[in-house]
Amino acid sequence: MNSSARSSELRMRLALAVCLTTSICAAGEKANDIRNLQFSKIDSSHFGSWQGSATDSNIEITAGGSGSFCSLPQENCQPFLTTNARNSNSTRFTSADDFTPEVNGQLTNLCWWGAYQPIPGPFPDAFTITYYDDNGGIPGNIVGGPFVQSGGTLIVMGPLDTGELVLGVAPIFEYTASHAAVNVVGGNCYWIEIKNDLSGGANWFWEDGADGNGSNLDDGNGIGPPDGYDQTDFEPDDRAFCVSVETGDPIACLPPGACCHPDGSCTAVNVLECTASGGEYRGPLSSCFLENCPVVPPNDDCGDAIVIDAVPYVDTVDTGGASADGPVGLCDSFGATGLMQNDVWYEWTADRDCNLLIRATPIATYDTIIVVRDTCVELNELACVDKNGNELGDSVESLIFQVAEGESYLIQIGDNGNVAGGDSTLVEAECLPPMGACCDGKSCSERTVEDCDGSGGVYLGDGTTCNVPPLGEPVQNSSIVNKPIPDGLPAPGGVGAPVSDTITVGESFIVGDVNVRVRIDHPFLSDVLVTLKHESETPITLMSNTCGGNDNFDITFDDDGGTLACGSPTIGTFQPTSTGGSLLSAFNGKDSAGTWTLEVFDDFDGDVGSLLEWSIEIDASGTPPCEAVCADGQIPGDTGDADVDLEDFAALQECMGNSVLAECLCPFDADANGTVDVNDFALFAEMLSGPS
């Protein structure tokens, strides 16, 4: 797939994802929701004839409008942009944009720009142009028209190919027209509506424009038909057109609305004035009397993170007015659809090596999440935690993270999911003493060295764990599949039938580690869902809806792998938690023998792929860290020469009373109490009798 086709496909997918999760379109209608040209699925077979006029498939935002036969001066225009275009017709969406004449005059002729879908177009045009006065920020009474091309009241010249492409793929056309005179008053706000009712299911898109006020209306309630303009039809862009009178300050057309300021105050201003002041605009004609404006915390943004001077640290912050800054955290259970909400930021430069404990306790019952990142520029995730609780007590989160002296860390605390929440939250940070595995006989627990020594245990060192390591002798099995993945179903069906393949493992042992390699060809990886199950147990997800429009992958899923890096193809060894899946350690402790089944689903129609091959590597559990028995073939009391003799006695003396060095446990901790002591000396003396 060429880059232009991929770009168009990705834009369509993003739009349709919105369609499925909002009211923009109804169930079963997603493929027809082409309000914006960038949301339309464009047939790549038509690109060739137009590529010669595109100097760069990633066209920069440029203002045009100086066409071959539009004679109107620049001060009368909102020139076209190449970034997007908006559908406008009588059945689905109808667009209108505002303008303000500088002086009294007459509207008699105009120019505008647009594009067609399907490409290449153009189709026989059926334009209608209507002018309205302003009624509090929406079109009011008709002051001119409707002027109809098919009725002869609108004389249209064009379309003329401008030689420019919108979104790098669709040619932009220019039109001029004339109609009966419409009187306008300087300084007043008016609206122009241009629609083109093409036949045969084709669509016309009115080009985005520059130099307006960043506001137009799109009537249609998602899938149409248009039912009259209202404030909910607001869209944050302009349309491209020129009129036969000079236009003035476009801000005059913007209605006031409630503007919430960071300090919790509210003023009634238009959206541009609100944004310029750093406020949050609550919509045209919204009322400060009815709006609840929260106080924005001072550490709302990463760049304004509160600096922690020293730990222990305690702070209470109200996150209710905080914004969502992202990016999505790996621990966020809603990570596929939204950012952490209502997040605040802290920064600490470690003054020592330690295990940093971070705790977030919400006063209310919203679900907290904690993420540690490196810098505000990279925002790489270093650690995260989320128990997904939303009840008081369950929503308290604690994260223990090992820090290094001199390194700086960003702490992001907010509300899990894609729905805003937040409230008063207690934030705590403190350095915990080093911890490691402590052996009490064969029993293992992770404790401080002081606690371990106090109980007579054997401390295995800072940072050691009680996790049982894999044996290091994995069993490998593979399967060549080469089967197609059934296409996903149209909405609201979504997920299609899986392609399934099974590997049978004959060896029986306790699983200590599982790694899985999967190779798939698919032109749109965010469609792909991969699961693995053992016998009849519940499957775990390895990959789900990641890497967008990238195609093909050869991934090894490994709990000790890196963070997913998408490409075309995507190749590497990655943690399944970074690919939208779960840890493979879910299989640890199971019996390796039996069937292992891989299933691959496609959960979006329109693209198909194939499962080429896959393999599974299973390792047995190794020796637990506190296992006091000797390794295979090693003789208790012997240091290596197959005789329990005086050389071994010298080594025993060095280990006497030692409760720290794990290597003393074998061969000298004969009674397995975790300490080489007088009891072991007596047992050793019994063995000191020559060859074993």
Under a CB-based contact definition with an 8 Å cutoff, are residues 430 and 354 in contact? no
pLDDT at site 633: 41
Q: Given this structure, which CATH class describes domain 302-432?
A: mainly beta
Mean of all residue pLDDT scores within the chain: 80
Confidence of residue 640 (pLDDT cuts 50, 70, 90): low
Q: What is the pLDDT of residue 502?
A: 96
At residue 260, does pLDDT exceed 50?
yes
pLDDT of residue 220: 81
**What's the pLDDT tens digit per position in 533-555?**
999 889 999 998 888 888 999 99
Residue 277 in tokens: 């002041």
User: Could you tell me if 443 and 369 are in contact, meaning their C-beta atoms sit under 8 angstroms apart?
Assistant: no
**Confidence (pLDDT) at 25:** 32
Q: Answer yes or no: are the C-beta atoms of 297 and 321 closer than 8 Å.
A: yes
Please give the pLDDT value at position 546. Answer: 87
Q: What local confidence, expressed as pLDDT, does residue 1 receive?
A: 39
Residue 295 CB coordination number (10 Å): 15
Between 205-209, 250-254, 563-567, 582-586, the lowest mean confidence (pLDDT) is in 250-254
C-alpha to C-alpha distance for 159 and 173, rounded to whole angstroms? 5
Q: Is the pTM of this model over 0.75?
A: no
| CA atoms of 459 and 625, how far apart (whole Å) | 11
Q: Does domain 475-620 have CATH number 3.40.50.11540?
A: no
Please check whether the two domains, 302-432 and 475-620, share a CATH topology. yes
Which pLDDT band, with edges at 50, 70 and 90, does 60 fall under? Answer: very low
pLDDT for 668: 61
Inform me whether the pLDDT recorded for 298 exceeds 50.
yes
Gyration radius from the chain CA atoms: 34
Q: Is the dihedral of CA 314, 320, 321, 324 positive or negative?
A: positive
3-state secondary structure of 674: coil
Q: How large is the average pLDDT for residues 347-362?
A: 92
Q: What 3 state SS string does 349-399 have?
A: ECCCCEEEEEEEEECCCCCEEEEEECCCCCCCEEEEECCCCCCCCCCCEEE
The domain 628-692: what is its CATH number? 1.10.1330.10
Angle, helices 646-655/678-687, rounded to nearest 10 degrees: 170
In the chain, pLDDT over 90 holds for what percent of residues? 42
Write down the residue that tokens 């057309």 correspond to: 253
**Pseudo-torsion of CA 330, 334, 339, 343, nearest 10°?**
-80
pLDDT at 559: 92
Q: Tell me how far apart the alpha carbons of residues 409 and 406 are, in angstroms, rounded to a whole number.
A: 10
Q: Which residue has better confidence, 450 or 33?
A: 450
Q: For 15-36, how does the pLDDT look when each residue is reduced to its tens digit (9 = 90+)?
A: 333 232 222 232 233 334 466 7
Q: How distant, in Å, are the alpha carbons of 30, 224, 245, 492 from that of 26? A: 7, 10, 41, 10
Report domain extents, the chain: 3-252, 256-284, 302-432, 435-465, 475-620, 628-692
